[in-house]
Amino acid sequence: MDQLELEREGKLDEDLPKRKPANFIYLFSDDAHFLSELSTALLFYDYEVLGYSDAESFMSAVLSYAPAAVILDIDSDPGEQLRTSVAQAEEVTCPVLYVSAHDEFASRLDAVREGAEAYFLKPVDVQALSHRIDENIAPAGQRAYRILIVDDDEFFLSFFESILSSAGMHVRSLLDPTKTLDAIKKFNPELLLTDLHMPQCSGVELAKVIRQNNRYVDLPIVFLSCETAIQKQLGALQSGADDFLTKPIDPEKLVASIAYRAERYRNLRKSM
């Protein structure tokens, strides 16, 4: 029996801390496939998920230990009972989010009356779910910016990752630009920082590929390159990028530029 199965059975409760870290989420579903699938998907967004298929064990954990958020699959009798129990429990002060295959107005209205922060339809848009969780568990200014760096040079990749991580940003690095779309889908970055000259796929080509997807037309793309020719820099910007920074760059300037554009993107998404 693996750890997730033990957690579902409630057998690890005695080892749990009194308050979970800010990225811990409790998830209930009596659908084993859905529970495993959503738990795994949320791991890519850096949440630690405790999954339960037993309603009693789930409720015991919720009342005993404070998670960052609770996700309830309400498409079953145990799920329906839990939505009532959680709503009535004064100890539950964290955000509660529902998932369901049913889109009836009455069910949504009940969710509002029960204090649920959100109501997601199956199949769940995990990126949207992650965004809603982030909105509810911390004020915008306290959430780390999610930055994806793409560069074929391991030294620069590690160097810039270190700078941005030290500034409190959540950074993912990628050596292979051909895997960028998959990384964006899984990591949900708020800014992409990339080199201009890469053998497998140039930065300009990468920006154009990203902009082909309507979902990512607003994602900030910033080039960081040794290229000093103005015409090439302008050409790079015309490919769909938002800024062009040159190497070497002062770390403070890099952090300030990235933070500014990531914050603008975050505010833009919030207003949509």
- What digits encode the pLDDT tens for the residues 55-85? 999 999 988 887 889 999 999 999 999 999 9
**Mean of pLDDT values over 201-209:** 92
Predicted pLDDT at 66: 77
% of the chain surpassing 90 pLDDT: 57
d(CA 177, CA 87): 46
The domain 144-271 is placed in CATH, from the list 3.90.25.10, 3.40.50.720, 3.40.50.620, 3.40.50.2300, at: 3.40.50.2300
pTM exceeding the 0.85 threshold for the entire prediction: no
Helix (H, G, I), strand (E, B) or coil at 38: helix
Full 3-state SS string of 169-208: CEEEEECCHHHHHHHHHHHCCCEEEECCCCCCCCHHHHHH
Predicted pLDDT at 160: 94
Query: b/e per residue, 24-42, with b = 16+ CB within 10 A?
Result: bbbbbbbeeebbbebbebb
Question: Does residue 91 register a pLDDT over 90?
Answer: no
d(CA 81, CA 79): 5
Domain ranges across the chain = 3-138, 144-271
Question: Does residue 269 register a pLDDT over 80?
Answer: no
Cβ atoms of 52 and 12 within 8 Å: the answer is no
Tokens, residue 237? 């910007």
Kindly list the distances between the CA atom of residue 15 and the CA atoms of 11, 52, 167, in Å, as whole numbers in the listed order. 9, 16, 33
Kindly list the distances between the CA atom of residue 84 and the CA atoms of 2, 106, 130, 133, in Å, as whole numbers in the listed order. 30, 15, 24, 21
Predicted pLDDT at 226: 81
Q: What is the CATH number of domain 3-138?
A: 3.40.50.2300
Look over the chain and give the mean of its residue pLDDT values, rounded to a whole number.
86
Does 144-271 match 3-138 at the fold level? yes
Question: To 5 degrees, how large is the angle CA 76–CA 81–CA 87?
Answer: 125
| Confidence label for 234 from pLDDT (cuts 50, 70 and 90) | confident
**Mean of pLDDT values over 235-239:** 79
% of the chain surpassing 70 pLDDT: 89
| Residue bearing tokens 């990531």 | 262
Q: Name the DSSP letter for residue 111.
A: H
Predicted pLDDT at 238: 81
Predicted pLDDT at 247: 87
**Mean of pLDDT values over 165-192:** 92
Question: Does residue 184 register a pLDDT over 60?
Answer: yes
Predicted pLDDT at 241: 84
| Confidence label for 15 from pLDDT (cuts 50, 70 and 90) | very low
d(CA 28, CA 51): 6
| Confidence label for 225 from pLDDT (cuts 50, 70 and 90) | confident
More confident residue, 238 or 6: 238
Choose among 3, 124, 116, 111: nearest CA to 70: 116
149-160 confidence digits (pLDDT tens): 999 999 999 999
Predicted pLDDT at 7: 41
Predicted pLDDT at 271: 66
Predicted pLDDT at 139: 53
Tokens, residue 141? 């200014």
| Confidence label for 92 from pLDDT (cuts 50, 70 and 90) | confident
Cβ atoms of 220 and 191 within 8 Å: the answer is yes
Of the candidate ranges 19-23, 145-149, 201-205, the one whose mean pLDDT is the lowest:
19-23
